[in-house]
Structure 1
Amino acid sequence: MSTTSSTALFLFFITICTFSSKCLVQVRNSRAPVLRTENQPLTLKCTAEYDEQHFRSIVVSWCFKPTISTSTINCQPLIDPDLYSLHINESKISEKRQRDAFITFEQLTLSNTGFYQCKAKCSATGTSAIGHVINVTVTGDPNKANTTSTRSFRLNSPPEVCNRKVEEIRRTSDDVFRLPLKLCVDLEIRAPA
């Protein structure tokens, strides 16, 4: 099987056109779900293809939905350069132009879990196409869980105080105990790092 046909198997496209005569723009992207661990990088790619004789400019963008829905209305545009970077590559093949749009997350967080979608729109005619939804799941970093350090110290009282009896401890309510001021204490404190 050639590389081109292998790639074609993994790439699917949906084209939604609002132009009456023929569809002039299409978007292709992988629809495979993505599973990553927080703090890992991730790059998503989509390709918009259009006929140059009809379109002089096309806008390709990514959007995010925290929950799956069939509507693109709730898809929030991804435009914050502090959270991710967007890169565009364009090439010309015969009478067609291809624009690849990449969105890169340097370090994923749990809040990046959700559904991502690529959109292409012709600014002149309003013709648009929307790619498949990509389900991205970010899980917690297993190396970060249960990271604690133990610090301990011991408080010693003089021997005559250590001979106190348990009966000297008075219960004042269901969850509060009143201890005598002088009591032998053997204490270990664990504090998170």
Structure 2
Amino acid sequence: MARALVIAAGCMLAPLGGAMAGPRTSKVTIETDPPGAKVYFNLKEDGEVCTTPCTIDAPIGETPIIIEAENRRSIIENLLVPKKTARPMKVSYKLEAALGSLIVEGGAGATIKIDDEDHGTAPRRLDDLPAGAHHVVLERDGKTIYDEFVEIEAGHEATVTPTVAPAPPTSLLDAPPSVTEA
């Protein structure tokens, strides 16, 4: 009787076997320039699939792919793996540098330092800066007139404008009138 139950259960589950095997996959080699990028399928929350260069089992059909590397623009597109393909299928991606711009308005003649490196004098536009946080310092006549961390986003511009207090009076003629008591 027990043997009959096992056989009957096996017959009932047999049609589900194909569905339980999961989606069909095919080998795909993923390369990036530069190497070392993280690869995700569908959503980042689903977890990293591999780090390039890598060969993985990718689902047949169309699958969203996300490729990311530090200081590079992310690539988000669909990976199309045909049913019949040369094994393994090879895909390559070039990751562009993540760059932005910094515009320094005002502060005429002030020395511009970004992350302790001299970048000329203000006012000035600085292109092709790596995306991310940068320490921006403006100095004029030995005094710091701006000292902040500035976030530069890839493909965008960040603007800094130092606020300079008026110079102190150099003589009594330059001083504002005083109020006298009556």
Give the TM-score, by structure 2 length: 0.25
Which structure carries more strand by proportion?
A: 2
Which structure carries more helix by proportion?
A: 2
Give the TM-score, by structure 1 length: 0.24
